[in-house]
Structure 1
Amino acid sequence: MTNKINASIITIGDELLIGQTIDTNSAWMGQQLNKAGVWVRRRVAVGDVWDDIWNALDEESKHAQIIFITGGLGPTADDITKPLLCKYFGGQLVTDEGALENVKAIFLKYLNHPLLPSNLKQAEVPDVCTVLQNKRGTAPGMLFQKNDIIYISMPGVPHEMKGMMEDYVLPQLAQWFQLPAVVHRTLLTAGIGESFLAERIKDFEAALPAHIKLAYLPNYGMVRLRLTATGEDVQAITHDVDILFENLQQQLQDVLVVNEDITIEEAIGRMLAARGKTVTTAESCTGGYIAHLLTSIAGSSAYYKGGVVSYANELKETMLGVKPTTLQAHGAVSEETVTEMAEGALQAIGSDYAIAVSGIMGPGGGSEEKPVGTVWIAVASAGMETVRQKFSFRFDRRRNIEMTAMNAIMMLRKVLVA
């Protein structure tokens, strides 16, 4: 019989509390632990204060069988996690030879300055812990056990923490605990709001068995739906969730983008690659963000040929062939200008498709006729009429840019599937 395993995550650092650093560690760990069948019951952030960290350890030990700790393992004076853990678990600091060799190797191979005493101290660990070697940095991780609770302390640097989780912690979970089987199936929809989607599949959701849950994950004009099944027999729950997932897809054929847990940009990349087609971008208001999204996918060189960031009107004219008379008569943020940008990029770069955007992201620059958030998007393709659409966003600059990019990519998708 499998038992529900509860976990707590403690993140340490003043920078987390004042908003200087965003805590992405907890979100990533929560996702990975959920997939493994571990329930993250609580997440706690504390500053670099001895009593606060100590009290957090005491409190979380009342709720969890495994406690994850990140942060406070660096070489500076405010990094107090290691000495605190040493006292909390009744040990003394000793030099771990494996960690010491790792520190020396990193400084020798990657850094062009001598080792300082503070760097060497990073190889010191409590003699009551199991050392988790850090293949991506200098601070080792530490595993403690007390009263049948496992405590794992890892660096706060996300890249280093992920390495430890992937190399050691996640593979070991099944050895430490008898975990339930967990099966996820995810699909991505576009062009329908969360409330309308929920109304449309309310009968499907109401009929779900107790061991299968449906989650709505909305983001920028898209909604991700995730079915999660839990149980003891992985084959049985996989069979159950597969049947329901197929049913769900059939009900949402007209708004279904992809039946995998991938991003819209990855889905678009697969569509382009499968067709042997290419795309280019002509960006004014997004400053290259669309190109960034498209090229963040491995293998994107097969379908993304390049792009132009044309903030200045002169570049719109010289690089994209926008007519001066068009800019004079209609302005940079207009249907006419964005159409000529897309068609000009198509011709200049020689791709099969071109996305063009022009808009007013804010906080300034708007007018009564064209307020902040006004955006024109066009998608041009060889042998087809250019598709264009006006959007009116109401957010801050960053989100306006993100919304523009997402809608531009979704417009390309509509052209691809037309």
Structure 2
Amino acid sequence: MKASILTIGDEILIGQIVDTNSNYLADYLDKLGFEIVEMLSVSDREHAIKEAMQRQQDRVDLVVITGGLGPTKDDLTKQVFCSYFEDVLVEDAHVFAHVKTLIEGYFKRPISELNRKQALVPSKATVLFNPLGTAPGMMMQKGKTHYVSLPGVPFEMKGIVSDALTPVLKEKFTLRFNVHKTVVVYGIGESLLAEYLSDWEDGLPAEVQLAYLPSRGRVRLRLSSSGTDKASIEAKLDQLIAAIPANVKAQIRAYDDLSRSEVVIEKLKTAGKTIACAESCTGGRLATLFSEKEGASAFFKGGVVTYATQSKIDLLGVKKETIEAYSVVSEQVACEMAERAREKFKADIAVATTGNAGPSKGDSQVAVGTVYVGITSKHGTFAVKYELGQPRDQVIERAISRALELVYNEILKK
């Protein structure tokens, strides 16, 4: 089964908003067994929408469209559907009753003609009820291709997908399962990893696809297969992952598609340990990563951002003599920052960052890109120096990545 995703809106094409709908729908359709062959964004113009729909005719089994269902003059999707399917708009009584209740009951104002237009749908369409808004979705077929139109508002679109679209798709298609298993490997580059896995990869069954997905400091290995028996597919992929060579397995940090911070958080939870942060050059980003997860209070004790030199003295209690002797960006200061944070927050582990992210040296005595990460726990205190280059945002991202790796290794200590 093949599917395409079409998003409508000039606001997408000019970069005014980020198209998150395509990402959500791709994940949703993939899990139902569809092969996504294309994602396309077009303008609000009638000819652009119609041309995009014609392009998919009999090429795919399903086209999911978002956007253009509002009541204003630039919302043309229903008009295009009527033209494309040679149909006319009619008022849906159920939708109108919902719109009337929403406008008069919730917004406390009389329903207008523009509001009433929301209840108009093509007469031949399957209406996909929208409980969270006024614009219903709709589904129509031409040839072998089913066209689904959904509101562009993400939370409304998702509500229709889960409540109304899924049952319809299950009725019209024999759904398969696309199963993906992801292994996250740290500390081995993509080329070297491929070399280590060469024999293992050669032994993979033909129905299993392997993808290397590199990013900064890690490579995700994604194994994929499809079929009608989800449990057997998952078991097969698990067996293949278990057979990964030992030298690679030693560098696996997660058996799921987790970010580096999520890997560390899971390890903290499993180990029953707590952490605190003292940050300078990373500006509270580490604390944000720890605190944004649900249940963070179980493992994250707190953090302090001491960006200015004096704040390191006043808030953390770093000795002025240490800063004067070694400079604010130094191994000694990173260690003191970590130790004071651990004491202040009574954490098992504390991590500290101090560095010069650039673009200029400022009052720092070290080169741009120099960062020290300090770690302290019951096992002792140490700091590691990194030369992280430029530009500024990359220095900060790399510093966070290095800090998380050091924290991970500290958690593993018995």
Residue equivalent to 2:398: 403
Are the equivalent residues in 1 in contact too, given 2:57–2:143 (CA < 8 A)?
Answer: no
Q: 1:374 to 1:46 in 2, by over 3 A?
A: farther
Residue equivalent to 1:283: 279
Q: Partner of 2:200: helix, strand, or coil?
A: helix
Residue 344 (structure 1) shift: 1.5
Return the alpha-carbon distance in structure 2 between the equivalents of residues 249 and 162 of structure 1.
41
Are the equivalent residues in 1 in contact too, given 2:128–2:137 (CA < 8 A)?
Answer: yes
Residue equivalent to 2:220: 224
Return the alpha-carbon distance in structure 1 between the equivalents of residues 102 and 393 of structure 2.
37
Q: Partner of 2:249: helix, strand, or coil?
A: coil
Q: Partner of 1:248: helix, strand, or coil?
A: coil
Return the alpha-carbon distance in structure 1 between the equivalents of residues 105 and 301 of structure 2.
36
1:164-183 → structure 2 map (5 Å cutoff):
164-170=160-166, 172-183=168-179
Residue 104 (structure 1) shift: 5.5
Q: 1:192 aligns with which of 188, 197, 200?
A: 188
Bigger Rg, structure 1 or 2: 2
Residue equivalent to 1:354: 350
* 1:70 corresponds to 2:66: yes
Are the equivalent residues in 2 in contact too, given 1:72–1:80 (CA < 8 A)?
Answer: yes
Return the alpha-carbon distance in structure 1 between the equivalents of residues 327 and 319 of structure 2.
11
Residue equivalent to 1:380: 376
Q: Partner of 2:329: helix, strand, or coil?
A: coil
* 1:151 corresponds to 2:140: no
Q: Partner of 1:356: helix, strand, or coil?
A: strand
1:49-198 → structure 2 map (5 Å cutoff):
49-103=45-99, 118-170=114-166, 172-198=168-194
Q: Deviations over 1:187-216 (max 9, x none)?
A: 111111111111110111111111011111
Q: Deviations over 1:99-119 (max 9, x none)?
A: 445555666787688866545
Q: 1:135 to 1:346 in 2, by over 3 A?
A: farther
Q: Deviations over 1:2-37 (max 9, x none)?
A: xxx111111112222222222232233223322321
* 1:300 corresponds to 2:290: no
Residue equivalent to 1:28: 24
Are the equivalent residues in 1 in contact too, given 2:128–2:165 (CA < 8 A)?
Answer: no
RMSD (Å), alpha carbons: 2.9
Q: Partner of 2:47: helix, strand, or coil?
A: helix
TM-score normalised by L of structure 1 = 0.87
Are the equivalent residues in 1 in contact too, given 2:57–2:142 (CA < 8 A)?
Answer: no
Are the equivalent residues in 2 in contact too, given 1:284–1:357 (CA < 8 A)?
Answer: yes
Return the alpha-carbon distance in structure 1 between the equivalents of residues 387 and 70 of structure 2.
46
Q: 2:412 aligns with which of 396, 400, 417?
A: 417
Return the alpha-carbon distance in structure 2 between the equivalents of residues 110 and 309 of structure 1.
44
Q: Partner of 1:252: helix, strand, or coil?
A: helix
Return the alpha-carbon distance in structure 1 between the equivalents of residues 12 and 140 of structure 2.
24
Amino acid at match of 1:301: S
Amino acid at match of 1:30: A
Residue 414 (structure 1) shift: 0.9
Return the alpha-carbon distance in structure 1 between the equivalents of residues 288 and 105 of structure 2.
31
Are the equivalent residues in 2 in contact too, given 1:215–1:226 (CA < 8 A)?
Answer: yes
* 1:208 corresponds to 2:194: no
Return the alpha-carbon distance in structure 1 between the equivalents of residues 168 and 127 of structure 2.
14
1:357-368 → structure 2 map (5 Å cutoff):
357-364=353-360
Return the alpha-carbon distance in structure 2 between the equivalents of residues 113 and 75 of structure 1.
17
Greater shift in the superposed pair: 31-40 or 356-365: 356-365
Residue equivalent to 1:334: 330
Aligned length: 413
Unaligned ranges ≥5, structure 2:
none
Amino acid at match of 1:82: K
Are the equivalent residues in 1 in contact too, given 2:375–2:381 (CA < 8 A)?
Answer: yes
Identical pairs, percent: 41
Return the alpha-carbon distance in structure 1 between the equivalents of residues 85 and 218 of structure 2.
47
Residue 329 (structure 1) shift: 4.2
Amino acid at match of 1:390: K
* 1:245 corresponds to 2:241: yes
Q: Partner of 1:33: helix, strand, or coil?
A: helix
Return the alpha-carbon distance in structure 2 between the equivalents of residues 395 and 134 of structure 1.
49
Return the alpha-carbon distance in structure 2 between the equivalents of residues 119 and 400 of structure 1.
51
Residue 41 (structure 1) shift: 0.6
Q: Partner of 1:185: helix, strand, or coil?
A: strand
Are the equivalent residues in 2 in contact too, given 1:366–1:372 (CA < 8 A)?
Answer: no
Return the alpha-carbon distance in structure 1 between the equivalents of residues 310 and 304 of structure 2.
13
Q: Deviations over 1:14-72 (max 9, x none)?
A: 22222222223223322332232110011111122221111011012242110011222
Amino acid at match of 1:63: R
Residue 228 (structure 1) shift: 1.1
Return the alpha-carbon distance in structure 2 between the equivalents of residues 364 and 101 of structure 1.
63
Return the alpha-carbon distance in structure 2 between the equivalents of residues 328 and 356 of structure 1.
19
Q: 1:291 to 1:177 in 2, by over 3 A?
A: same
Q: 1:379 to 1:65 in 2, by over 3 A?
A: same
